[in-house]
Amino acid sequence: MIVRSRSDLAQHSERNGDLSPSVARPARISPVTRERWAQIGITAQFLIVVRTLGEFFRLRHVLGTSFSASVAAPYVGGALIAACFCWAGVTLYFFRRYTLSVWIALAAVVILLVYKIAVIGW
């Protein structure tokens, strides 16, 4: 007769770090969580704002004396759109609505592409 000092469940928990089968973590298919995708989306939105505002300064440098507010207006409008979407994404992130935050980021990219083609040109 074999006598074990600990149960199989205790040995399994010790090896795998699980507390018990009922407390085990659910399996994830994707190695990236929804929270991480939301963080990536917010970062992309912030970079879009920076890039759009950077275009203002690039135009001012390239055009020199022929630079006017009417030339920069479409880019400032795009930056405002991007900033509003970034604000919405961060707000949703703080309320732990990670999936909505990701969808806001994707919608921002699509809307800004349409804005660029329609207003600024390809």
Helix 98-115 to helix 34-63 angle (10° resolution) is 30
User: What does the pLDDT look like over 17-72, one tens digit per residue?
Assistant: 555 555 556 666 668 899 999 999 999 999 999 999 999 889 999 998 898 888 88
Q: Which range of residues forms the domain containing residue 62?
A: 30-120
User: What does the pLDDT look like over 80-119, one tens digit per residue?
Assistant: 999 999 999 999 999 999 999 999 999 999 999 999 999 9
Of 76, 46, 43, nearest to 59 by C-alpha is 76
Confidence of residue 79 (pLDDT cuts 50, 70, 90): very high
Rounded to the nearest 5 percent, the helix, strand and coil shares of the chain are 75, 0, 25
> Which DSSP letter does residue 25 get?
P
Domain count within the chain = 1
Could you tell me the end-to-end alpha-carbon distance of the chain, in angstroms, rounded to an integer?
Answer: 81
Asked if residue 40 is part of any domain, the answer here is: yes
Asked if residue 13 is part of any domain, the answer here is: no
Asked if residue 18 is part of any domain, the answer here is: no
**Tokens describing residue 97:** 């609505």
